[in-house]
Structures are given as structure tokens and as C-alpha cells.
């Protein structure tokens, strides 16, 4: 996919500091001088073509409730099925495969610790597989944004 100037601006300007308001895409559109519908269409196109993998906020989870990193030891032939089940569980915001005995990792969030434990217990019952629960001991800020030098990529 070839990116035009507006696509590049959209990627650079809003991979951090997504507007927090009732209509964030409208706020983005005003800044770029295009229509809100065009922002939405462009973002969808960028996702469909796998230029972007995700569009949405990243929350400071400690301010939003409780969260935990978990891992499940899944037989290789069941990995896709188990990943789909994990994805349907309330509070799971992503998962990924790893080369390890515990080969499916995910983060689960909830409004509070009790709800988090209930959700993890229920998922573990559904999966009938061993689950490793890894509560956060120390927080680190990881900036997932990248300053892209479009000229060097041309």
C-alpha cells in the first residue's frame, strides 16, 4: 500500500496523544483538514492493509482497575482454538504466542482485584489447562510510538 501525505500525518500525529473527547476522530479530522468519515475510512484501510495493527487507546491499567499477565500451556494443535476462547473472555485486551511451555500469553483487566480473580478462575475452568498468573511487581512505561522518518523509507 502506498501512503499519501495525509496517511503519514495521521500515523505520526496520533500514535500518541489520541484526543480524549466524545468524538476523537472528528478532532483528528479538524487538525488534518479532512472529514471525520475520511479519518475513519483511512484508519480502517491502514488496518486492512496491515500498515496498522490496532487503533485505540492504551490505558494506564493501574488507574483503571486491576490487571494481570497470564500464560497458558497449550498443546500446539489447540493453540488457535484456545486463543479464540481467551480473546472472548471479558477484560482480555491482547494475547500472543510464545515459544515456551507456557506458549499463550495474555493480559486481563477488570474493575477490581476480586473481579479479576473471578474472570481468571472462570477462564481457567473453561480451558482446563494450567495457567500461570504473573501479577505486576513494578511498573515500567513503555512507549509504543515511533518517530517515522518517511524520507528514508522512500
Q: Where are the alpha helices (DSSP H) in 5-153?
A: 5-14, 24-32, 36-48, 61-64, 79-88, 113-127, 150-153
pLDDT surpassing 90 at residue 19: no
Calculate ∠ Cα 131-134-138, nearest 5°.
175
Is-above-0.75 flag for pTM? no
- pLDDT band for 141, please (50, 70, 90 cuts): low
- Give me the percent of the chain exceeding a pLDDT of 90: 63
- The mean pLDDT of the chain is 88
How many CB atoms within 10 Å of residue 64?
A: 11
At 128 the pLDDT is: 95
| Tens of pLDDT, residues 41-88 | 999 999 999 888 778 776 666 677 888 999 999 999 999 999 999 999
pLDDT digits (tens, 9 = 90+) for 20-47: 899 999 999 999 999 999 999 999 999 9
Amino acid at each position: 500500500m502506498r501512503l499519501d501525505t495525509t496517511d503519514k500525518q495521521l500515523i505520526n500525529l496520533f500514535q500518541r496523544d489520541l484526543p480524549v473527547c466524545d468524538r476523537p476522530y472528528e478532532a483528528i479530522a479538524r487538525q488534518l483538514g479532512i472529514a471525520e468519515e475520511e479519518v475513519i475510512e483511512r484508519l480502517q484501510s491502514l488496518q486492512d492493509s496491515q500498515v496498522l495493527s490496532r487503533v485505540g487507546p492504551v490505558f494506564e491499567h493501574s488507574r483503571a482497575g486491576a490487571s494481570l499477565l497470564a500464560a497458558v500451556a497449550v498443546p500446539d494443535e489447540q493453540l488457535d482454538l484456545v486463543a479464540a476462547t481467551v480473546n472472548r473472555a471479558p477484560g482480555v485486551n491482547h494475547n500472543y504466542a510464545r515459544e515456551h511451555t507456557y506458549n499463550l500469553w495474555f493480559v486481563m483487566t477488570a474493575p477490581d482485584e476480586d473481579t479479576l480473580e473471578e474472570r481468571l478462575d472462570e477462564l481457567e475452568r473453561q480451558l482446563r489447562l494450567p495457567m500461570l498468573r504473573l501479577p505486576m511487581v513494578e511498573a515500567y512505561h513503555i512507549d509504543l510510538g515511533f518517530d517515522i522518518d518517511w524520507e528514508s523509507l522512500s
